[in-house]
Structure 1
């Protein structure tokens, strides 16, 4: 949508409580139609405000933002804290330049850096707060190292399997960070942490069902498909991701793959069924792992995002339920 082609429609879109894609395919795609993969956006306003609320900035705080995007969030931080206290990092040179122009027109002048957000920006450290406007599967330890003890990191975090929530971490003097998840989210992945996911055919050793072992399950693939269920499963089943193959008659196949390309599984969904056909192959029985993870979540009363937390150390990420003394079991 171009603001000069239909100003009223453009204005209504910009001021709606929805995310607005502003870049496709890392800028390789241009034009008014959709590209293959959205790679930058103006986030939904309620999400922006909820994350800023979780950040809890105070007068005099220095903030590092990872993911400048359109520059709107950097403008809000600059208005609250003063431009001198805000550093914003953007990996895409064109996006960073466009945002810098918008910010200067609004008379905000935060330190604008073109660089890889994984590295943070050590030159401007230490910070009191770090906020990421892209999701991560691992919180870069550079962020932890660049925050003063007692400082806060707010970032969307999600496992390989899917599901995602915003985590609020408090940094300790020993170089670790701990905190709870504060609400559901769905952000584009930090560029260096994007997954490269193989096609299902790369897992098969021959004609169907290849070398797979057939069985049935009473757990529907629908049961494990909500955003929260995917998160609860994903934190227990590392290195596994799902794909869904849908058919014209309304049925579908849930494919499970491991990132090591050693194991796969399928579960076929059909309406009216109470048991579902399963095929599994490889050293990991991926559906068995997912089903066990789902049952664990059910036994714990299907906890929401707010009961989960995360501990980050230089060498590990540990997800826990209710307290750091109760780590989530890992399978596989």
Structure 2
């Protein structure tokens, strides 16, 4: 393995300090040792993309800048456009990244691995997370699966060069990897909108499934499930992190391309509830609304070209059969025009979801949980599994 050098050692010390500050406590000694001995830079490709505009940063052209990104406590994009060429900056979108180290070590701590545990990781990415786990557990106990053949090959090469014995499997992570099951721990490094039943089935009773969560409404949170031994699993959400969605659960929908049609005749009404209340800066509200509307997504059009409309919130179902638009004119702060089309009144449902959340005391994500039943149903709850959250479909 290439030596890290003096500059790299300084960057490593800075990273450890930043991670400890973010976690609010020092890393557990085994994870600190793994961080030092499994260097993050050894798993990053020669070219990464940084910043909101995904500016290209090459190790060959700017080695100092590249190393700073390698040891910053931020996510680093390691692939754009699923590996396809994107010449123009505006055409780039992130399809793989190395997660912020503080998020990585928070999840590893939540995973609570013990000596002898067998771990399945979904979403190999760069391979760094699998390398940290293999350093902690030893050879032959970590299996990691990656859907992208190029990423899988790169990660396998990195793990081999560092000398860590994690098995890299190229395939669909949603199916798990039955050949090495059962696992004591399953961890995903991509978000999901539904927990694949294979992950629960391939986890030993009492084992843990830790996954980043996303609803079409809002991408946020971690879900830590304990498998019950009867085909189900249950556990709480935690208010940390946002990850890229698993490729097999992606939806590519656009309002004017896929949803709204010239022939639609929407129903008009008014509301006093600000659309910013349900889709603004309050992450707890958005999380709760997303749990209740599991097939509804939303997008803002802040520069609407409609006369008299200063901002517009769009809501639509993932099957594109229903939509709603909530318009503000920028002058009346408590009156908004609502347009709804389809068999469901989506804004009415959003108002009800928000009202339920406020009536429950405006709980944060950490008070919510989810049960995955043996038949694959997902049942959200508040505080206890018997206190179901209303799901509006």
TM-score normalized with structure 1 length: 0.94
Paired with 1:199 and 1:217, the residues of 2 have a C-alpha distance of 22
Alpha-carbon distance in structure 2 between the residues aligned to 1:87 and 1:262: 40
**Residue correspondences, number:** 330
Q: In structure 2, what is the equivalent of residue 63 of structure 1?
A: 119
Query: Which structure has the highest helix share of the two?
Result: 2
| Counterpart selection for 1:94 from 150, 168, 189 | 150
Provide the C-alpha distance between the structure 2 equivalents of 1:35 and 1:196, rounded to a whole number of angstroms. Answer: 15
Structure 1: which 5+ residue stretches go unaligned? none
Moved more, 282-291 or 190-199: 190-199
Distance in structure 1 (CA, Å) of the matches to 2:188 and 2:175 = 12
Q: Please name the residue that 2:182 is paired with.
A: 126
Distance 1:293 1:70 in 2: 39
2:77 to 8, 13, 21: 21
The answer on whether the counterparts of 1:24 and 1:35 sit within 8 Å (CA) in structure 2 is no
CA distance in structure 2 between the partners assigned to 1:94 and 1:293 by the alignment: 42
1: distance between equivalents of 2:245 and 2:257?
Answer: 25
Is the alpha carbon distance of 1:55 and 1:33 closer, same or farther for their aligned partners in structure 2, counting shifts above 3 Å?
same
Whole-Å separation in 2 of the counterparts to 1:31 and 1:41: 19
SS at match of 2:343: coil
| Cα distance, 1:261–1:252 mapped onto 2, change above 3 Å | same
Structure 2 match to 1:251: 310
- 1:306–1:102 CA distance, 2 compared to 1 (3 A): same
List runs of 5+ in structure 2 lacking aligned partners: 1-56
- Whether the aligned pair in 2 keeps the contact of 1:87 and 1:113 (CA below 8 Å) is yes
Q: TM-score, normalised by structure 2?
A: 0.80
Query: Where does 1:187-226 land on structure 2 (aligned, <5 Å)?
Result: 187-200=243-256, 202-206=258-262, 210-225=264-279, 226=281
In the alignment, what sits opposite 1:267?
Answer: 326
How far is 1:298 from its partner?
A: 1.1
Alpha-carbon distance in 2 for matches of 1:267, 1:328: 25
Check the 8 A contact 1:163/1:230 in 2, yes or no: no
Counterpart of 2:196?
A: 140
1:294 maps to 354
CA deviations on 1:93-125 (whole Å, 9 max, x unpaired) are 111111111111111121110000001110111
- Let me know the Cα RMSD of the aligned residues: 1.8
Q: Which moved more, 1:210-219 or 1:13-22?
A: 210-219
Tell me if structure 1 keeps the 8 A contact 2:323–2:340. Answer: yes
